[in-house]
Amino acid sequence: MNLRPGIAGFFLLSMTTAGEAVSFTGHAVPVGRGSLGGTLPPPGFYLRDCSVFYTADRLNLSNGERAPVDFKLSGYANLLRGLWVSEGKFLGGNYAIDASIVAQTTTITLNGVTRSGSGLADSYIQPVGVGWHGERWDAVFGYTLWVPTGESEPGGVRPGKGFWGHMVSAGATVYLDERKSWAASLVNRYETNQEERHSHITPGDQISMEWGLSKKVAARADVGFVGCYQKQVTKDAGPLASGAMDSEFSLGPELVVTWPVKRMAGTVRYIQVVEAKGRPQARALTWVISKRF
């Protein structure tokens, strides 16, 4: 899920203007799954609708200091996700296929100049996903292909990024008591990218370490705390490519409510970036409605 479609264009515009190199971020978004991120749900088809509102009023340099510019960012993204989990077994676990489409709008103001962009953003498909379940643990593995379906424009705020991406994910959830009322999860992702179609820059690889700690406080409600550390681990390659490698650390609370009779669940999550290098120091409010068929 791509929630920073216009940021790459903004960096291209601002850094080129300053006579510096161009930098891009990957597709994976911090805390995209939330608590129990290392758990694949029971067999069935799931349709999930995710809405995200995000804002920022601070842009950080690659050393983590605030950039000397008047900067504001605001946007909204809506993701429609389909997930199918098989009843059959593959490598001892349940096989799953996951795909999404995203529409969003972003507005950026830089030193009094405002630019906006909206439309279809980049999509993803996870053709290979496997989930295992133990007595007091779950584990997941998956390969995701990011598809540049959105319009992109270096120096602009159109919602696409303009390049294909490949991501491998692996994670686990551990239940800390026999009743499974306490759970801790960790999901690791490694993303590698292909050449951006306009600038001919190949964005560097990116890792994401996403974690969660949750507690069941009622039969149908869980509260938790989630966070993510994300970092570019290889430099961009190509003409005007940046030598800097961006990163961020984000965290926040989460509430999950389920309606077993209706086979539905709802999630509300607030995430704050507490440290950012080469990125906006943003915040996001997310809610997700999930229906099992």
Q: Which fold has domain 5-17+40-292?
A: Porin (2.40.160)
Instruction: Quote the mean pLDDT of the chain.
Output: 90
**Helix, strand or coil, per DSSP, at residue 260:** helix
CA dist 112 and 95 (Å) reads 50
CA dist 28 and 12 (Å) reads 19
**Helix, strand or coil, per DSSP, at residue 5:** helix
Per-residue pLDDT reduced to its tens digit, 128-149: 999 999 999 999 999 999 999 9
Per-residue pLDDT reduced to its tens digit, 218-256: 989 999 999 999 999 999 998 888 788 999 999 999 999
Per-residue pLDDT reduced to its tens digit, 16-65: 333 344 557 889 888 777 889 999 999 999 999 999 999 999 999 999 99
What beta strand segments (E) does the chain contain?
Answer: 44-59, 71-90, 93-110, 113-120, 123-133, 137-147, 165-175, 182-193, 206-218, 221-232, 247-259, 264-277, 280-292
Other CB atoms within 10 A of residue 133 CB? 13
- 104 near 118, Cβ under 8 Å? yes
Which tokens hold the place of 212?
């969660």
For residues 89-106, give the mean pLDDT: 95
Which residues are CB-contacts of 218 (< 8 A; sequence separation ≥ 6)?
none
CA dist 70 and 109 (Å) reads 8
What's the length of the chain?
A: 293
Which residues are CB-contacts of 171 (< 8 A; sequence separation ≥ 6)?
37, 38, 139, 140, 185, 186, 187, 188, 210
